[in-house]
């Protein structure tokens, strides 16, 4: 529509408005796929943009689908289908009947709209045809264009109310203008031939294909749009060209200085990627010469080598983003691992457009009720968050959530209607007495709230309220009646972080693991011998524990490399649970097990657990400046606001990490925060804190001990310790903010236990601190309704935004250093993690400051006896490694050079749960077949990614697949061995007890040649390990040795080849379903294919 007004008005395009939607009939469910586009400026507007219209203003806006997911129709082979989440998939589990993958992405009106948009873009060249590399391919593209015209004309004639002959319509209206011009330049006879051939094909299509195939208008639309994806290079992505780009990521090349020749690609299915602009960029047609729209280079159907495919570097997928910050024309995207990408755009408008693009895809794929930055936050999302209202989730998801909340009468959910923009629906739990069964039966009733310019009112009543909150407060005091039922609205269930619903779009790559009931983790921690620790000074008492300083003996890496063993002493903290508390030893070990699962720079490192006589001891790193509360109280003058902000931000970062891993700390308070660096000096880079362990879990504490923890313990946990959840950590974070604001003062310190209980019973609040910004955060966290507390990702985002708005509280910038170059002198060994054929892996802290504030990393190095065999192309292999970026591949962090560059160490991310070979045996009871298959799928995804980069792993096995958490695994240890020896035989079998030959495909054993298909064989063996839970008695090596007998050296390979050539394979594991075993058999064909 053309906006032209005689008065100054503001138009917010996000608000559900009768201004637009009666014309389009786009449903509320699909509305967030669309945005407004200015064809004149080539600019997409963010959803909260306000147009200030004067009598001189004339703006032509296009309502277009901006957020597009390739293969949403599911008909393109080789690409993952796309769908909305389905309730049957959310419930999980295996059943004989195949459940649908999900519900369709588009409704009928959205499909019609997209079809019209697709025709317009195809014909006008908004999305250009894919590049041709030969005359034959150009001819093929032209034929496909004529095929598109056949589909469009057939659809047009079928849709007309009056019959019309399709052969009377010229194809020229339905093909790209650029192709039309080419055809016009050809001689008369060629044009006649094209016209006749087209009419003949059109006639055959209408008389044979349409009638014989019973094809509908819907089928024609799907075929047209699916073909359009492969025929053009403009669907499913946006290409942006910032003035400059800096990206701190996985490799040195990603840590760029200001660069003016970069481009950034955003797609709904893969996330955000970047590359240096190709030196010879093909000319891409732009509509009306406008270059700012930048609609894109996407995948092409049947195009095996997508142009410049290898040059794109993935920065992140949307689920890895924590928040974005906009400052003038600069957009900064922050990742979970604190890496960031900064784009300086040509204008503020372009910055808002790009941020809105990322924000929109995040809400469609990760969290429908969260925004990454306020500047582009849709007004409807802000309204929903403030009012505890869901978007247009379907009734099935509303009922599913009410069941999860306990199905208590009066519990209700607010949600926008899926079909009508003017209504909010209340879905409430009601109990009806069954006459036949003489018992109370749970029912779910829906009521409509009418939304208009006058306000909000319950449908069927007369009174409007100004806000939704006012209306609900009025209704919650009333007794409501319907269908002979009488009830009250008692408790609202607001949206929760990353809640699964039909609002989210999913692909197979992003499909969530079926939700199974969480079970207690098997205890897992590193065991420390009593001879390795020495107890020293008594530091204080914890809850039922005594705390001492001490030393831990750790093997010296340098001496070990030199051929002899010595030890270095590391200062540690010993938390001792005495023999008098053996009844709570299990709870003590559970805390240790939880701490072992984490690796974060702002969380204290657990070295392990020691059992000494009747005592159980947790051995943790020693943090120099001790508890935060004591440090703050010792200061002669109050600490500044910037200092306090940094502490709050670091604590929120640590708790956000735990929240993402679905781990609960349980006792967040200032005395459990340790200060590694006070950071008050100008060159110290600010404070640095570490969250310590929570001590004894509240689940085994007495009621008096729980009450004594008021106001740190959440109110719901005082009522019942079984209510312990991540929400409890949010309350504790709020109380800790209060301590930080008041320089370590103890809240309620003079109150008796009865007074503390009364404080919660009357829902009192702590005094509001002077620091307004932190006080607001504190108030939000200390909400007595745990469901209404913000989640930590939003807290981190808001703190960052406060820093941007208040430069005075922002920390001083620190000098930039190359994050991928690690100096050996700063690598402090903690312990060995494992040993392979040529190298070893150690857990180290990279600590350039020497104050234990550095990050934990896994350091892989060659054994001294193998260093001379290192080939000169190791550096080129590292270049390949650092370009790999996938959620199921261990992240490369950098290299460490020593001995004048002659020896290289690889620095990788540290995953504390270890490999599947270690993890599965000790977690067998809680790992279902469904989880094992999920691990297998993730390994497939990682291997498929490696294969797409023309890279062969060569050593895929359970020992080389690491566990990030209970639901996620990552492939590791690839590339190193390939760089060490050439392709003719890089493994020398020295000891069959540690030989990878039992994972090798036959062609690897006989010809020493490795193919992509060779990894498929290894995957089959790896999957066999998973199905047997990595039981050593059923390992591939044990079973194959049983077939060939005990041998040594080359004879092992000869006999193994003979056994495999005879068709012998690993037997079906006990308890393995037949269908799973048949799949394993297909992976082990005689010849690699």
Tokens read off for 880: 């390949």
Distance (Å, whole) CA 42 – CA 52: 19
Tokens read off for 977: 């061995």
Say whether 860 counts as a known binding-site residue.
yes
Among candidate residues 369, 351, 306, 436, the one with its CA nearest the CA of residue 790? 369
Distance set, CA 463 to CA 16, 474, 695 (Å)? 21, 11, 54
- Residue whose pair of structure tokens reads 């001689």 in the numeric block: 187
955 catalytic residue (yes or no) = yes
Cβ–Cβ < 8 Å for 878, 906: yes
- Residue whose pair of structure tokens reads 């034959």 in the numeric block: 136
Say whether 719 counts as a known binding-site residue.
no
Catalytic residue among 337, 660, 798, 955: 955
Say whether 905 counts as a known binding-site residue.
no
Measure the N-to-C terminal CA separation of the chain; round to a whole number of Å.
Answer: 57
Helices (H) and strands (E) in the chain, counts: 31, 39
DSSP letters along 285-315, please? --GGG--SS-------TT-SS-TTGGG-EEE
Q: Where are the beta strands (DSSP E) in 348-483?
A: 389-390, 411-416, 423-434, 439-452, 455-458, 480-482
Among candidate residues 130, 131, 145, the one with its CA nearest the CA of residue 175? 145
Which residues make beta-bridge pairs with 619? Answer: 574, 608
Say whether 751 counts as a known binding-site residue.
no
Q: Which of helix, strand or coil describes residue 359?
A: helix
Say whether 835 counts as a known binding-site residue.
yes
Distance (Å, whole) CA 962 – CA 426: 45
Tokens read off for 911: 């995953």
Tokens read off for 604: 């204290």
Distance (Å, whole) CA 736 – CA 644: 11
Which residues make beta-bridge pairs with 691? Answer: 603, 673
> Long-range contact list for 94-103, CB < 8 A, 24+ apart?
94/929, 94/930, 101/508, 102/506, 103/502
- Give yes or no for a cis peptide into 711 (omega within 30° of 0): yes
- Residue whose pair of structure tokens reads 């109380």 in the numeric block: 735
Q: What contacts 899, CB < 8 A, 6 or more positions away?
A: none
Say whether 840 counts as a known binding-site residue.
yes
Distance set, CA 387 to CA 286, 399, 459, 467, 592 (Å)? 43, 19, 19, 9, 39
Tokens read off for 568: 């270095």
Q: What b-and-e string marks burial along 544-559, b requiring 16 or more CB atoms within 10 Å of the CB? A: bbbbbebbbbbeebee
- Residue whose pair of structure tokens reads 């064809």 in the numeric block: 39
Pairing label, strands 903-909, 892-898? antiparallel
Say whether 776 counts as a known binding-site residue.
no
- Residue whose pair of structure tokens reads 């991540």 in the numeric block: 726
Which residues make beta-bridge pairs with 321? Answer: 335
Distance (Å, whole) CA 369 – CA 359: 11
Binding-site annotation: residue ranges:
833-841, 860
Binding-site annotation: residue ranges for ATP:
833-841, 860
Q: Which residues participate in catalysis according to the annotation?
A: 955
């Amino acid at each position: 529509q053309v906006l032209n007004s005689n008065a100054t008005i503001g138009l917010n395009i996000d608000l559900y408005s009768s201004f637009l939607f009666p014309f389009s009939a786009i449903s509320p469910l699909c509305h967030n796929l669309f945005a407004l586009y200015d064809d004149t400026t080539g600019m997409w507007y963010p959803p909260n943009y306000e147009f200030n219209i004067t009598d001189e203003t004339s703006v032509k806006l296009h309502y277009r689908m901006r957020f597009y997911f390739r293969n949403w129709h599911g008909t393109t082979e080789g690409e993952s289908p796309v769908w909305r989440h389905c309730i049957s998939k959310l419930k999980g589990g295996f059943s004989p009947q195949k459940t649908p993958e999900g519900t369709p992405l588009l409704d009928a009106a959205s499909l019609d709209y997209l079809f019209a948009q697709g025709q317009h873009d195809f014909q006008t060249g908004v999305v250009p045809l894919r590049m041709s590399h030969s005359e034959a391919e150009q001819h093929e593209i032209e034929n496909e264009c004529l095929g598109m015209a056949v589909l469009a004309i057939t659809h047009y004639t079928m849709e007309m109310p009056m019959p019309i002959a399709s052969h009377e319509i010229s194809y020229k209206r339905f093909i790209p203008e650029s192709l039309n011009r080419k055809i016009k330049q050809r001689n008369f006879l060629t044009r006649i031939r094209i016209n006749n051939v087209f009419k003949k094909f059109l006639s055959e299509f209408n008389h044979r294909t349409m009638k014989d195939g019973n094809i509908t208008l819907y089928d024609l639309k799907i075929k047209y749009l699916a073909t359009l994806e492969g025929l053009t290079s403009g669907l499913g992505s946006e290409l942006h060209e910032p003035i400059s780009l800096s990206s701190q990521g996985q490799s040195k090349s990603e840590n760029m200085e200001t660069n003016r020749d970069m481009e950034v690609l955003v797609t709904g299915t893969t996330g955000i990627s970047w590359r240096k602009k190709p030196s010879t960029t093909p000319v891409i047609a732009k509509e009306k010469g406008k270059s700012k729209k930048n609609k894109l280079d996407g995948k092409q159907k049947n195009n095996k080598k997508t142009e410049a495919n290898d040059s794109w570097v993935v920065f992140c997928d949307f689920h890895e983003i924590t928040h974005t910050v906009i400052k003038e024309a600069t957009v900064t995207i922050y990742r979970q691992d604190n890496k960031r990408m900064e784009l300086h755009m040509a204008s503020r408008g372009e910055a808002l457009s790009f941020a809105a693009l990322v924000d929109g895809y995040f809400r469609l794929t990760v969290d429908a009720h969260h925004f990454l930055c306020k500047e582009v936050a849709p007004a409807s999302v802000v309204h929903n968050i403030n009012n505890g209202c869901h978007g247009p989730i379907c009734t099935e998801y509303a009922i599913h959530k009410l069941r999860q909340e306990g199905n208590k009468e009066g519990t209700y959910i607010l949600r926008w209607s899926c079909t009508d923009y003017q209504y909010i629906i209340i879905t409430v739990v009601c109990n009806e007495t069954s006459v036949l069964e003489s018992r109370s039966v749970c029912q779910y009733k829906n009521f409509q709230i009418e939304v208009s310019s006058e306000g909000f009112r319950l449908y069927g009543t007369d009174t409007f309220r100004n806000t939704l909150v006012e209306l609900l407060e009025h209704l919650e005091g009333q007794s409501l009646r319907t269908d002979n039922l009488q009830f009250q609205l008692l408790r609202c269930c607001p949206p929760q972080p990353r809640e699964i619903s039909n609002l989210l779009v999913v692909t197979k790559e992003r499909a969530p693991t079926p939700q199974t009931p969480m079970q207690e983790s098997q205890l897992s921690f590193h065991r420390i011998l009593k001879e390795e620790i020495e107890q020293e000074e008594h530091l204080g008492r914890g809850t039922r524990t005594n705390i001492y300083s001490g030393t831990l003996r750790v093997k010296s890496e340098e001496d070990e490399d030199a051929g002899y063993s010595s030890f270095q002493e590391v200062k540690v903290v010993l938390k001792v649970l005495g023999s008098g508390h053996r009844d709570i030893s299990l709870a003590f070990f559970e805390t240790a097990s939880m701490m072992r699962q984490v690796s974060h720079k702002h969380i204290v490192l657990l070295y392990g657990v020691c059992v000494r006589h009747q005592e159980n001891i947790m051995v943790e790193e020693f943090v120099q400046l001790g508890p935060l509360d004591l440090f703050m109280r010792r200061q002669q003058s109050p600490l500044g606001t910037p200092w306090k902000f940094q502490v709050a931000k670091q604590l929120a970062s640590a708790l956000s990490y735990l929240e993402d891993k679905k781990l609960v700390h349980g006792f967040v308070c200032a005395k459990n925060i340790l200060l590694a660096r006070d950071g008050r000096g100008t060159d110290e880079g600010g404070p640095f804190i570490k969250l310590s362990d929570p001590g004894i879990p509240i689940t085994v504490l007495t009621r008096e001990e729980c009450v004594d923890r008021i106001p740190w313990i959440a109110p719901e946990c005082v009522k019942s310790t079984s209510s312990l959840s991540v929400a409890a950590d949010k309350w504790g974070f709020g109380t800790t903010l209060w301590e930080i604001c008041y320089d370590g003062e103890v809240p309620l310190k003079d109150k008796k236990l009865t007074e503390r209980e009364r404080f919660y019973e009357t829902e009192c609040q702590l005094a509001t601190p002077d620091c307004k910004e932190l006080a607001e955060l504190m108030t939000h966290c200390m909400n007595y309704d745990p469901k209404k507390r913000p989640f930590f990702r939003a807290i981190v985002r808001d703190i960052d935004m406060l820093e941007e708005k208040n430069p005075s509280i922002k920390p001083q910038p620190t000098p930039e250093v190359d994050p991928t170059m690690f100096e050996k002198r700063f690598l402090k060994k903690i312990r060995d993690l494992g040993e392979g054929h040529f190298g070893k892996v150690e857990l180290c802290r990279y600590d350039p400051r020497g104050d234990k504030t550095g990050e934990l990393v896994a350091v892989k190095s060659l054994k001294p006896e193998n260093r001379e065999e290192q080939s000169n192309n190791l550096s080129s292999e590292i270049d390949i490694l650092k370009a790999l970026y996938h959620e199921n591949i261990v992240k490369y962090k950098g290299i460490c050079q020593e001995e004048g560059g002659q020896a290289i160490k690889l620095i990788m991310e540290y995953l504390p749960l270890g490999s599947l070979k270690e993890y599965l045996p000790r977690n067998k009871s809680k790992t279902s077949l469904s989880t094992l298959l999920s691990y297998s799928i993730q390994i497939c995804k990682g291997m498929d990614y490696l294969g797409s980069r023309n890279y062969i792993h060569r050593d895929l096995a359970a020992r080389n697949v690491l566990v990030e958490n209970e639901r996620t695994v990552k492939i590791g240890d690839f590339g190193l061995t390939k760089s060490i020896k050439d392709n003719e035989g890089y493994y020398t079998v020295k000891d069959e007890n540690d030989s990878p030959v039992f994972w090798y495909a036959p062609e690897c054993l006989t010809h020493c040649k490795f193919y992509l298909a060779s990894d498929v064989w290894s995957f089959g063996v790896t999957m066999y390990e998973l199905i047997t839970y990595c039981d050593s008695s059923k390992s591939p090596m044990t079973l194959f040795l049983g077939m060939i007998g005990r041998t040594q050296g080359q004879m092992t390979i000869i006999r193994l080849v003979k056994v495999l050539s005879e068709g012998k394979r690993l037997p079906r594991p006990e308890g393995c379903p037949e269908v799973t075993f048949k799949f394993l058999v297909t992976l082990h064909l005689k010849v690699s294919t």
